[in-house]
Structure 1
Amino acid sequence: MSERVEGTAPDTGGDTADFRVHVATQAIRLFAEHGYEATTVDQIAAAAGVSRRTFFRQFRSKEDVIFADHESLIAQASAFLAGTTTDPWEAVCDAAHLVFDRYRENRELSVRRYQVVQRVPALRDRELVTGYRYERVFSDYLRGAAPAAPPLAVVGFTASVTACHNYLLRAMIRGDEHATPEALRSALTEIRHKFAPGAPASGNSSATSVGETVTVVTYPAGTSPAEVARQVRRQLEAHRP
């Protein structure tokens, strides 16, 4: 049985990213049904139709597998930004939409992962780190694509985009009907207008966030990136229904 599964494993000839997401989907389903600690690697491998050896070729641990689609989306966002020729500030907003739309398309899986992650402190910490990685991808791109932009504007913009995206993403996963792509686009347009001179303001500020208007303020020069991100997140949480 093991040899047959090994010989037909998706990673031997198919797309590695698709394979990793496939295994992650099965793992998250098992975690949601049986609990994270109670689920074994052997059970995940069997559910995914691969051997234990194939599993460990792609993943270091159970913790690694639960965030496999995060890794895939980070790669997709990076590839999108590398290939775009649009306005750099708008490109970052578009990349955030790409991530939001993928999770919205797979909301059932997102809900299961959210439920699992909330029960395990180590997974919650890992998810926070993953959120900062999106922010780093956006910042690195913008520094290269808009080299004349003030560093604090880049940091404030990307921190605000990431915080707004994550807030609406969590609201969408919890089932809030106001957490829509349109709400995200309106909120990101407001943020872009504040940080990128000449950017158009949103035409519908009433849809900026979940039931409220997200206010993003500017900070004096010298404010640390961590403090900018902390204050933006605090303001967004204050608007939570």
Structure 2
Amino acid sequence: MSVADVDSASFRMLVVAESIRLFSEHGYESTTVEQIASAAGMSRRTFFRQFGSKEDVIFADHESLLAQVDETLASYDGDPWSAVCAAAEVVFSHFRRDRDLAVRRAQVVQEVPALRDRELVTTYRYQGAFEEFLRRRLPDEPPVRIVAYVAAITGTHNYLLRQMIRGDTDATLDRLRRELARVAVALGADVDRPEAAAGDDGSQQVTVVTYPAGTPPDEVARRVAAQLRKS
């Protein structure tokens, strides 16, 4: 299969899948760029032009996913706080659609320190996109509130994403939607999707978290997660 046979997003997913397969079978260090390029049906030169390096290729689908996130944020017909929740759902759905690939990638990343660091950087790109969007749409909102909100949303999403990859059958899109709505309510956001905040029995659930002014965003996210576990 060549570059011309598939669209750009599908092609990138193909190369990501082939690279992860080779890394899983032969080890990250032992797998060469030539092997990845050959498996994906392209030249070594095309590989470097399209993906840059072995470290880049394993996360290459994130470029298309980040574009989807930007599109979701820009086109969401509702309040900005809810747009961030909707964008987080897009990310979760992407990995849930091909859970096997997500599992194999997690296994490869866990074994290579450089890839673990790169994964953190990639995660912060989503967080940065959410923060930039909210600052642009809500210019009068205190920056600390935006940072705290985004940290809590991404922390909740990443926790359930990890659980889904580990095989937790309760880590579903519906569960994510409910938990994100709880976080939004807890931090005082004007969520416009009240149905998402309902509990399993249909009742409305509210989680309240208090914290001193100046509390670091990571600590806010930790407290929110602790409250959600109690809910």
TM-score interval w.r.t. the shorter chain? 0.7 to 0.9
Kept after mapping to 1: 8 A contact 2:152/2:224 = no
* Structure 2 residue aligned with 1:9: 2
* Structure 2 residue aligned with 1:170: 162
Kept after mapping to 1: 8 A contact 2:156/2:179 = yes
Kept after mapping to 1: 8 A contact 2:209/2:223 = no
Tell me the distance in 1 between the aligned counterparts of 2:138 and 2:105.
36
TM-score, normalised relative to structure 2: 0.87
* Structure 2 residue aligned with 1:110: 102
Change beyond 3 A, Cα 1:236–1:115: farther
Name the SS for the 1:162 alignment partner. Answer: helix
| Structure 2 residue 138 is the aligned partner of structure 1 residue 140 | no
* Structure 2 residue aligned with 1:204: 199
Structure 2 gap segments, 5+ residues each: none
Q: Deviations over 1:107-128 (max 9, x none)?
A: 0110010000000111111111
How far did 1:98 drift? 0.6
Name the SS for the 2:197 alignment partner. Answer: coil
TM-score, normalised relative to structure 1: 0.83
- Identity across the alignment (%): 55
* Structure 1 residue aligned with 2:111: 119
| Structure 2 residue 147 is the aligned partner of structure 1 residue 155 | yes
How many residues align structurally? Answer: 223
**Matched residue type, 1:196:** G
How far did 1:16 drift? 2.9
* Structure 2 residue aligned with 1:4: none
2:221 paired residue among 218, 224, 232: 232
Kept after mapping to 1: 8 A contact 2:12/2:60 = yes
* Structure 2 residue aligned with 1:95: 87
Q: Deviations over 1:78-108 (max 9, x none)?
A: 1211222321111110000011011000101
Change beyond 3 A, Cα 1:190–1:236: closer
* Structure 2 residue aligned with 1:45: 37
Tell me the distance in 2 between the aligned counterparts of 1:86 and 1:214.
21
Tell me the distance in 2 between the aligned counterparts of 1:156 and 1:206.
29
Change beyond 3 A, Cα 1:178–1:112: same
Change beyond 3 A, Cα 1:195–1:214: closer
**Matched residue type, 2:44:** R
Q: Structure 1 segments of 4 or more deviating over 6 A?
A: 213-216
**Matched residue type, 2:199:** N
Change beyond 3 A, Cα 1:65–1:96: same
Q: Deviations over 1:37-61 (max 9, x none)?
A: 1111111011101111110111221
How far did 1:236 drift? 4.0
Tell me the distance in 2 between the aligned counterparts of 1:68 and 1:122.
15
